[in-house]
Structures are given as structure tokens and as C-alpha cells.
Structure 1
Amino acid sequence: MRRYRRTLVAIALMATLVSGTAGWAAGSGQRPVDGPPPGTAAWRHDGAFGRALPDPETAAPAQVAAFFATLSATQRQELTERHPSVVGNLDGVPVEIRYRANRLALAKDPRYSRLAAPGRQIVAFDPRGRGTVAEVYGDLLTSRHIAVVVPGSDIDAGTYDRSGDAYGTPAGMATSLRTATGGRTAVVAWAGYTTPVGVGLDAATGELAEVGAERLARFTEGLAAVGAGTPKLFCHSYGSVVCGLAASEAAASDIVVLGSPGMRADTVDALRTDARVWAAKDPSDWISKVPNVEFLGLGHGTDPAAADFGARRVPARTAHGHTGYFAPGTDSLRAFASIATGGEVR
């Protein structure tokens, strides 16, 4: 009965938060970017090679990789130049070809010209909506270890590498993690889904996370299809909801959540994954004030950092706030680097 009363109180608090009386209605409703990439119609009607091209909506990444393996260098270049938006976002396409395709696509979009700068390795770019993007730091094919950073709210193609919040963006988290591993880990800053804006209803529900989970799982399948290693996922805030929903399908050896509002699961076993699951939450993180309930679609369930969830605990005593987990010198970053390189955390 006492637990039941606590749940009712938490539900009431969640309703109050979402209604706006406590500030949770500061966000705006977002429509998730979904479906095949821009240019798919032209791709499907391209018969230049005398055979159908892999359908971006239905072909598995392994099928895409097998198709590209049959093409000559000239044919690959022709497809890249004719259909850069499809080739640049198609999981299973060799990464160097995706980089080249996305440079071509970005050159046509002045809003994101900085992403086309020499040396940047953009492995996905979709300008629809607020824009989604993924960037690689290091070499995916030669690095022994791979990590993928999955961000939370307020991240898109225009903000994912903003300079004002160095360790609160996927780009900042990725570069900090790569540095902490001594460059031994290739890291992907994956802003590949439509994130909530602010802390409104989108952040309290799972609709955006469900679409993001499908895209994340497919992205990890694409890594395997091109011969890259099995990644470790580092999932921040609402990104941990995405990772929780993707856990059973994603190809990952470790799933690390930090500042998580919940993973839409009551326990690690409920995630139905063979990956090692880790959780970090620092004492000053405001996410602790969010009720850990899931009721009528609101809330994201049990706190992954709680003992009864069953995740391995990542120390975060010296991290500060909601975006301080990747700050240099913190115990959390040291632990993340150990996990990223296949080690243990003590």
C-alpha cells in the first residue's frame, strides 16, 4: 500500500510537471524525421546499371554492403554524385563513400556549411526538420574500439557541436572520450534522431525515442556490415530512453547511460540484451528530481542508477550537473574511457 501511494504521488507530480506549473512545458512538439532519406524516389527509378538499386526503406545493411561490393570504383562514384543524400545516409555503404557523399550534400546546404569543412567525417546528414547528423572521430575500420554517443534533448544538426556547452553536446562528449582513451577509440557523435526541445511533453513520452531507437539499431547494424567493430553506446539523458528501446536490437557490447530519466524498463533483464549495462548519475544532476515512473505513456520508468535496476554502477562523484559527465579529470570520464577500451570499472 505504501508503494502504491508513492506511485500515485509520483504520477501526480509528473502530471503537474508536464502541465507546466513546474516548468516542464517549456518544450515544443516535434515531428520525428523518419522513413528513407531525401532523394529516395529518384534513387528507386535509377536504372543506369540495368538492375534495381537496394531500396533504402527495406534493404538490410548487409544487403546494401553486398551490393556496393559488386560495384566498380567508377560506378560507386557515379552513384555518389547522382544521389549524395541517399548514399550518405544508407547504412551498409562503405564509410569513406558516405563521407564523400555527405560532403556533396552539405555543399548544397549553406545552413550547415561548417560541417563540410576539410577533415570532417560526416557519416550521416539529413536536412529535414531540424536536421540530423553523425560525425566520426578516428578511423572506424582500423580502430580496435568503437563508441557511439547518443544525446538527449535540444540536439540537432545546428546545435550538436555548439561551442557554449563543451561537454553537453555529442561532439564535445565524443572528442573528450576519444582523448581520454589516448586516441585508441573511434567515436561517433550520433545525433541521428529528432530529439525533444526543452523539457515538455516530448521529453516525458517515448514517441521520439521509439523512432530514434529504430534508427540507432540500424546504424549499429550498418557498422557491422562494413566491417567495423561492435560499438559501446554512451547514452545521455533522453538518449538513454532511445538506447533502452534499442537495446534488444542494437549490436552493442556495452550500453552506458548517464543522467538518465529511465530506459522504459524495470530492470536490466527487461532490456533483453547481452550487452553489459552501466549507469552513472552524479549527486548534483537535476534529473534526480524527475519522477521515475511510467504511467499512461508518461515517464520512463525505473532509475537505471538505482540498485534494484541491476546495472553496473559508474562512479560520478566528481562530475557536476547534468552535462558534466565527460568533463576532463572526472571519475566518470575515467570510467567511460575504461569501458570504451574494453576494461572494467572499480
Structure 2
Amino acid sequence: MRRFGRTMVTAALAVAVVGGTAGWASGDSQSAVTGPPPGSAAWRADTVGGRPLPDPARTAPREMARFFAGLDAAARQALVRSHPLVVGNLDGAPLPLRYEANRLAVAATGEARYASLGAPDRQILAFDPRGRGQVAEVFGDLEHAAHVSVVVPGSDNDATNHDARRKPATGPAGMARALRAAAGDGTAVVAWTGYTTPVGVGLDAADGRLAEAGAVRLARLTEGLDAVGAPDPVLFCHSYGSVVCGLAARHTDATDIVAFGSPGMRADTAADLHTGARVWAARGPSDWIADVPNVEFAGIGHGADPTSADFGARRVPAADVQGHTGYFTPGTQSLAAFAAIANGELR
């Protein structure tokens, strides 16, 4: 009974801290964007060479890769022109086709907030304008890279601010650019704003509902990378993104999972993630995430602190990291370690 009382007090404290002084109203409840890409109904109704097209909702990435391998260049281009939103989001489809399809899809929206994503030099791996918008962008040569990393961001990220102006080396695209610059040309980095993130500080940030939906999409992404012959990835998981990675861990082929600025991974220990990946954790001395109690009660909170000794993750040096978003700042110990992990040099 005494233990239950302590748990209730801790849970109440978690709610108070995560809620902040503005309370739960400071966060807007979000509906997770899930399922096949927009335009899938028209895709399913179409044919190529008299054959039906594979269902985006049911076809595994490896099967999708085999389907495209059996098409000639003209048939592929016809599908890109007719169904850009579908082709651009098909895990297992050839990477150049996805980049081309997403340029067309961005242009077709006619929305100024997405216009920069359609620039010729951008390699947009996925683009979905539903809701607040989702996007994945590649930095480097994903087709020929010796190593691949995926940056999984936390709250308040979407297609409109994926590459917004903020402090250098922060935000999904900023972190990916910084990691690519530090790791070198042999590493490609995917900035994956590919799930519906929480907005503000509220129940969405304190529970796992959006993370559960995001984990399914992250696992699918890694399956798609494998289907096109990319190396097994390293996952760099920031803040609420580490909750997503924790739930997806057992369903990915990641070689390493790095949690930083993490409120928890919905696991008591690294072993509870049930992954063969090496698990790493970092937290800077001034990161406010340290003030969030590491509990999980009645669905609220995300569990143990990944940087604690009991959790059992490998520690990443972060003594010179400033704040909650400074982990990729050039010159920091954390970025140097991240680059070494990305290149398979730190084990």
C-alpha cells in the first residue's frame, strides 16, 4: 500500500511537470496520420500493362521493389506522372523515382509553405500533405552510402517547419545536415519527420498514442531501406522521438539506437527493448528533460531514464551540450560521438 502511494505521488508529479505552468491546455490534441498514402484509391483502380497495381496498404517493401524491377522505364515514368503522391511514399520503390515523384507532388499542392521542398536539389524521400504534413529528406547519396542514419525528431515538428529557420544544427533537417557534415561523404542521413508529432506540452507529449502510430511508420521506413539495398541504419532519436524509437526497436534492423534528450523509451532497461541494436543515451547538463520524472503510470509518462546506470545503455558524452536541442552543435563531444557511431567506429 505504501509503494502504491509513492507511485501515485510520482505520477501526479509527472503530470504536473510535463504539463508545466501553463497546464495541459498548452498542448493541442493531434490525430495521427496513418495508413496508405493519399491517392491510393486511384492507384488501386489503375493498371500497368493490363496488370493491377500492388496495394500500398498490403504490399511489403520487398514485394514493391520486385514490382518496380519488373517495369520498363516508360511504365515507371507513367506511374510517377499519374500517381506522384503514391509513388513518392512507396517504401521499396526506387529512390530516384521517389525523389522525382515528390517534386511533382509538392508542386501539385500549390502551397507556398511547401514550395522549398520541391527545389531540384532536394531529395525528398516521402511527402504527405495530410494534417500538418509529413516529410522525409535524404542528405547524401543514399543509393551508394556505406552507412545510413535516420534522425527521428520529437514534438512540434511537421512538413512546414522540417527545415524552418532556427538555431543552427537543430530541427530535423538541421540535425541531419550537421550529422552528415561530421560523418563525411560515406554516410547518408535521413531526416525523418514521418509521423504525427505532439504539439506543445500536453497529454499527447505525455502519453504514447502518437508514438505507437509513429513506431509503425518508422519500422516500415527501415524495411523500405532494406528493400532497396541500403545498409542497416543507425537511429538517432531526440526527445519524444526516442519514445517512437523505443516502441519500434524490436521491429527494425537498426545496428544502433541513440536516445538523446529522452523522456524515456517505454522500457525499464535496454534489454526490454528486445533489439539486437546497440543502445546509446545522452543528456546534456542543462537539458530541461531532466526535470521530467521518469515514470509510467496509467499510460502517462515514458518510463526509465535511458541515461541511468540501471537502464544499461552505453553513455554518449554530452557535458558541453547546451539546452534541449544542442546535441548536434559543431564542436560538441556529442556530435563527434554521434558521427563515430554513424560510421560504425564506436561500438
TM tier relative to shorter chain: over 0.9
Whether contact under 8 Å (2:198, 2:204) holds in the other structure is: yes
Contact 2:99/2:124 (8 A) holds in 1 = yes
Q: How far 1:17 sits from its partner (Å)? A: 4.0
What corresponds to 1:244 in structure 2? 246
Number of the residue aligned with 1:96 = 96
Q: Deviations over 1:298-334 (max 9, x none)?
A: 0000011111001000010001100000000100000
| 1:73 equivalenced with 2:73 (yes/no) | yes
Larger displacement relative to structure 2 (273-282 or 105-114): 105-114
- For structure 2, the 5+ residue unaligned runs are none
Pair 1:200 & 2:202 matched: yes
Q: CA deviation at 1:108?
A: 1.1
Q: Distance in 1 between matches of 2:253 and 2:38?
A: 26
Contact residue 149 and residue 173 of structure 1 kept, 8 A? yes
2:55 aligns to what?
Answer: 55
Q: Judging changes above 3 Å, is the alpha-carbon distance between structure 1 residues 185 and 303 closer, same or farther for their aligned structure 2 residues? A: same
Tell me the distance in 2 between the aligned counterparts of 1:166 and 1:227.
32
Q: 2:315: which partner in 1?
A: 313
Q: 1:170 aligns with which of 155, 169, 172?
A: 172
Q: Normalising by the residue count of structure 2, what TM-score does the alignment of the two structures yield? A: 0.96
Q: Which amino acid aligns with 1:284?
A: S
1:148 counterpart (140, 147, 150) = 150
Structure 1 gaps of 5+ residues are: none
Residue by residue, what CA displacement relative to the aligned partner does 1:47-95 show, whole Å, maximum 9, x if unpaired? 2421121111011000000100000000000011000000000100011
Q: Which residue of 2 aligns with 1:134?
A: 136
Match of 2:126 among 124, 127, 136: 124
Q: CA offset at residue 166 of structure 1?
A: 2.6
Decide which of 282, 285, 289 is 1:280's aligned counterpart: 282
Q: Are 2:39 and 1:36 equivalent residues in the alignment?
A: no
SS in 1 for 2:125: strand
CA distance in 2, matches of 1:19, 1:119: 41
Whole-angstrom CA distance in 2 between matches of 1:165 and 1:34:
30
Aligned-partner Cα distance in 2 for 1:190–1:247: 16
Q: 1:217: which partner in 2?
A: 219
Match of 1:271 in 2: 273
For residues 312 and 26 of structure 2, what CA distance do their matches in structure 1 show?
A: 33
Task: Report the Cα distance in structure 2 between the residues aligned to 1:211 and 1:12, rounded to whole angstroms.
Answer: 26
Q: Residue 331 of structure 1 corresponds to which residue in structure 2?
A: 333
CA contact (8 A) 2:270 2:311 kept: yes
Q: Does 1:182 align with 2:194?
A: no
With over 3 angstroms needed to count, the CA separation of the structure-2 counterparts of 1:126 and 1:95, relative to structure 1, is same
How many Å apart are 1:9 and its aligned residue?
2.6
**Cα distance in 2, alignment partners of residues 292 and 234 from structure 1:** 20
How many residues are treated as equivalent by the alignment?
345
Distance apart, 1:6 and its partner CA = 4.5
Question: Please, which moves more after superposition, 159-168 or 86-95?
Answer: 159-168
Decide whether the 8 Å contact of 1:257 with 1:278 is kept in 2.
Answer: yes
CA offsets 1:140-169 (integer angstroms, 9 cap, x no match): 121101100000000000111111233320
Q: State the match for 2:105 in structure 1.
A: 105
Could you tell me whether the CA contact under 8 Å between 1:17 and 1:23 is conserved in 2?
A: no
One-letter amino acid of the counterpart of residue 308, structure 1: D
Aligned counterparts of 2:181 and 2:4: Cα–Cα separation in 1: 47
| CA deviation vs aligned residue, 1:13-46 (integer Å, no higher than 9, x gap) | 1233466656454110000110110000000000
Matches of 1:25 and 1:343 in 2, distance apart?
45
Mapped partners of 2:146, 2:2: distance in 1 = 50
Q: Which amino acid in the other structure matches residue 69 of structure 1?
A: A
Secondary structure of 1:277 counterpart: strand
Paired position in structure 1 for 2:87: 87
The 3-state SS of whatever aligns with 1:307 is coil
Q: Using the alignment, how far apart are the partners of 1:176 and 1:19 within structure 2?
A: 31
Question: Is 34-43 or 181-190 further displaced after alignment?
Answer: 181-190
In structure 1, distance between residues paired with 2:147 and 2:30? 34
Q: Is the 8 A contact 2:266 2:303 kept in 1?
A: yes
Q: Deviation string for 1:178-237 (max 9, x for gaps)?
A: 111122210000000000001111000001000100000000000010111111000000
Cα distance in 1 between the residues matched to 2:12 and 2:118: 47
TM-score scaled to structure 1, two decimals? Answer: 0.97
- How far, CA to CA, are the matches of 2:36 and 2:29 in structure 1? 22
Give the aligned partner of residue 234 of structure 2.
232
Is 1:296 the counterpart of 2:298? The answer is yes
